[in-house]
Amino acid sequence: MKNRWVVAGAALLIGVSGQAWSAEEVNLYSARKENLIKPLLERFTEESGIEVNLVTGKADALLKRLEAEGRHSPADLLLTTDAGRLHRAKEAGVLQPMQSDALEQVIPDTYRDPEGYWYGLSVRARPILYVKDKVDPQELSTYEDLADPRWKNRVCIRSSGNIYNQSLVASMIASRGQEATQQWADAFVKNFARKPAGGDRDQIAAAAAGMCDIAVANTYYLGVMLHSDDPAQREAAEKVAVFWPNQEGRGTHVNVSGIALTAAAGNRDNAQRLMEFLVSDEAQAWYAEVNHEYPVKADVAWSETLQSWGTFKADDVNMARLGEYNAEALKLMDRAGWR
């Protein structure tokens, strides 16, 4: 009786962990949701014959899993949707640098780690969105200006728990210093039309419905809304327009989704092939078509939606700095009472 259980248990364990031992494959921990990565991975498998094993999840939790598993981790690659987390992973010692000419030639300096620990795959911009019939774009200039009292009760933005807001504030600390940023945050919070709640799409919808005149949100949410099969979403999205702030200065805040080789990687070569595939023209165009993100690669044609928002100057602070200032940014927002 007891023996049967032991055999059954062993069979279960081998059955489950066995899949990690077969030949041509690469194992990926991805903070990008399955439906926003799997089609690309399938294309990769088709092209290369390398199977991709996938676990999706929240970036922080995946990072903890990597840390816990240590040098035995089955994961070869970690993919996140912001640079801050990649920086955390690097600090935690679970990554290793990768030298690849193919990657270095294609990806601009600011969108990858100076030491090659991680590489950006797509660019996500966080500009100001304004309601067309309420705000004259002439009134808009910079993120800093949104702290001016004339915007009182007119701004919608999500909570400070969100990494995109943390990165935005981190970018401001990087350029203007901590004190100036604190003063800005203190004043900015007073202009909120409501207590922060919901996601980026909710801010856009709230602006369109008249609750506020300005929303700060990532453009791909606007893109997804514009292409929604729900007429109400499309209608809401049509009411707002994109304004690119800080064009005279450091540029509009951007973040990247990126990928890194883990320290424990057992399938190094396959991992490198996948990374290089993800910056191929085909993959780069896919981000824009499916999720309205900007390619990191300069010569890839933009989708129509991206073109309609116009070109802009992006903040050229190295993404690694955003990670460095992340904790400081969060504390600063706590002090400002930004929920």
The C-alpha angle with vertex 133 and arms to 218 and 168, in degrees rounded to 5, equals 20
- Looking at the DSSP bridge assignments, the partners of residue 155 are 192, 214
| Residue 249 beta carbon to other proteins: minimum distance, rounded to whole angstroms | 27
| Residue ranges in contact with other proteins by CB under 8 A | 12-13, 16-17, 19-20, 27, 33-36, 53-58, 60-62, 64-65, 68-70, 72-74, 88, 158-159, 161, 166, 194-202, 205-206, 208-211, 221, 224, 229-230, 232, 236, 326-327, 330-331, 334-335, 339
| Residue 296 beta carbon to other proteins: minimum distance, rounded to whole angstroms | 21
**Please, which residue, 131 or 261, has the CB nearer to other proteins?**
131
181, 325 contact by CB (below 8 A): no
DSSP tally for the chain: helices H, then strands E: 15, 10
Helix, strand or coil, per DSSP, at residue 74: coil
**Please, which residue, 31 or 279, has the CB nearer to other proteins?**
31
| Residue 316 beta carbon to other proteins: minimum distance, rounded to whole angstroms | 25
**Please, which residue, 95 or 103, has the CB nearer to other proteins?**
95
**Please, which residue, 80 or 246, has the CB nearer to other proteins?**
80
DSSP line for 25-48: EEEEEESS-GGGTHHHHHHHHHHH
Joined tokens for residue 10:
């062993």
Q: What letter does residue 276 receive in the DSSP assignment?
A: H
| Residue 328 beta carbon to other proteins: minimum distance, rounded to whole angstroms | 9
| Residue 224 beta carbon to other proteins: minimum distance, rounded to whole angstroms | 8
**Please, which residue, 20 or 301, has the CB nearer to other proteins?**
20
Q: CB-based burial of residue 114 (10 Å sphere; 0-12 exposed, 13-18 middle, 19+ buried)? A: exposed
| Residue 24 beta carbon to other proteins: minimum distance, rounded to whole angstroms | 15
What is the distance between the alpha carbons of residues 338 and 332, in angstroms, rounded to a whole number?
9
**Please, which residue, 174 or 279, has the CB nearer to other proteins?**
174
Sequence-distant contacts of 192-195: CB under 8 A, at least 24 apart = 192/153, 192/155, 192/156, 192/157, 193/153, 193/154, 193/155, 193/156, 194/156, 195/339
H or E segment to which residue 173 belongs: helix 163-176
